[in-house]
Amino acid sequence: MMRLFFLCLGYASLALGVIGIFLPVLPTTPFVLLAGWCFARSNPALADRLYNHPRFGALLRTWRDEKAIPLRAKLIALTMLALSYGLILWLSESRVVRVILAAVMGSVAVYIATRPRPRDEAADLHDG
């Protein structure tokens, strides 16, 4: 029963992650990470497929193995957060919405910014 629950949650998370690619307000990465976690508990073959994806696999494996975010991914995520918040400021007239989203998005930005970089990326910076 739990396997089915995790499988359904994994597919739903992956669907939300794909939708998030096209909607700036909906985050992609947390949903794809959740999908990988759910698939690992319900269908390891699907988890392997996700972790070996040509575009997202390396990022997912780095997070799974090191809880690290590459510098380029951090910069893209922080830029997208800033652009999304700018869009909210432009489109929303509600101060309450602006304040709540500033707190949420600011917290997410701090979390992303404070995650370590992958070991191999940090070693490359020290060597070069």
pLDDT at 123 over 70: no
pTM above 0.95, yes or no: no
Ranges assigned E (strand) in the chain: none
Mean pLDDT of 18-22: 87
Q: What is the pLDDT of residues 35-78, one digit of tens each?
A: 999 999 999 999 999 999 998 898 899 999 999 999 998 998 89
All residues at 6 or more sequence positions from 24 whose CB lies less than 8 Å from its CB, including other chains: 80, 83, 84, 87
Q: Looking at residues 81-89, what average pLDDT do you find? A: 90
